[in-house]
Structure 1
Amino acid sequence: MRARIRTIVAGLATLAALAVATPAQAATAAALGTAANPFTIAANSGCGSSCDGKDPSVYAIYYSGRITTCSADAITARVNTSAGITLELRYSPICRTAWTRVPSDYYYPYIRSYYPDGRLRVEYNGFKGAYYSQMVNDANLLAEARASAGPTVWTTGRY
């Protein structure tokens, strides 16, 4: 009985210590290590191959004193608008990563990463989220967005 009371008191002491955290600390602590934000890294020169295959909308990084995701600063680096499709190669300057975005689930997305000499480094295909693929490292590399619908394949230029 005494051991049980000690365990309960220790648990209450832990809860009390957590309760005095500031709201910002509590929000940060809750965000890290959750399914929504499974990883946190310090991004100084990109996140390298640790970003390969990850979801750009939830992969969390610590950058300039704040936590953000790779998709938060994304730009469209290349686009292909032929035959009615808007195929986008998305790029994150903070993470130095790239991924494919398609306009609907009718198109099947691919992302390819190439070494500077043109050799294929890695390819991911399929949806990671709503209308986009997984990320690939793009630091000192090249990426190309691809999409298919049946036998037709669209590509963007490499970036």
Structure 2
Amino acid sequence: MNTLTRKLATAGSALAVAATSLLLASSPASAATSCYGSSCNGLDPATTICQNDAQTVMYGEYVGLELRYSPTCRAAWARFKYGDEGDIWVQNSLGNKYAVHYPGSGTVWTRMVNDKDILARACGTFAKGTACTPEY
């Protein structure tokens, strides 16, 4: 193998290793989905970047019922952490609504609704009745 061919082969191998390293390094970050406003409707916040800056912005009458909001994604969802078995849901003022059943233990959350320039609230129906958070 002449010197030029050897140098080209070495450079090609180095580029291939560098490209593979970049792909492998970016894989975990690309696992999280990005969305904004209406493109978040129906997505699970746990599989998106929306969970990264989420904050509880409203609490329900029942302890454990929360409205979560992501400023980056402009999306909201309901979360329930403890209490009686029941159903929780999130809905926005455009009529989008997603519900989940709470089995009586653990933490559950709904899929997200658009909350860009509109209002959303979290609600729950339990043995004691139905209650919602204020709108946000």
- Please state which band the TM-score falls in when normalised by the shorter chain: 0.7 to 0.9
Q: Flag the structure with higher helix content.
A: 2
Q: CA deviation at 1:155?
A: 0.5
2:60 & 2:119 partners in 1: Cα distance? Answer: 17
Identity between Structure 1 and Structure 2 (%): 32
2:68 corresponds in structure 1 to 90
Cα distance, 1:107 vs. partner? Answer: 3.4
CA distance in 2, matches of 1:103, 1:29: 31
Identify which of 113, 127, 131 aligns with 2:108: 131
1:1-159 alignment, distance < 5 Å = 17=16, 19-21=17-19, 23=21, 25-29=23-27, 31-32=29-30, 34=31, 37=32, 39-41=33-35, 47-59=36-48, 69-82=49-62, 85-104=63-82, 106-115=85-94, 121-126=95-100, 130-150=107-127, 152-159=129-136
Compared CA separation, residues 26 and 136, structure 1 to 2 (3 A) = same
1:57–1:72 CA contact under 8 A, matched in 2: no
Cα separation, 2, equivalents of 1:158 and 1:141: 10
Question: Aligned pair in 2 of structure 1 residues 22, 92: CA closer, same or farther (>3 Å)?
Answer: same
Give, in whole Å, the separation in 2 of the partners of 1:107 and 1:23. 47
Decide whether aligned partners of structure 1 residues 27 and 107 sit closer, same or farther in structure 2, where only a CA change above 3 A counts: farther
Q: TM-score, normalised by structure 1?
A: 0.63
Please report how far the alpha carbon of residue 150 of structure 1 lies from its aligned counterpart in structure 2 after TM superposition: 4.0
* CA RMSD between the two structures: 2.7
Query: Whose RCO is larger (CA < 8 A, sep 6+)?
Result: 2
Aligned length: 118
Deviation at 1:29, TM superposition (A): 3.3
Structure 2 gap segments, 5+ residues each: 1-11, 102-106
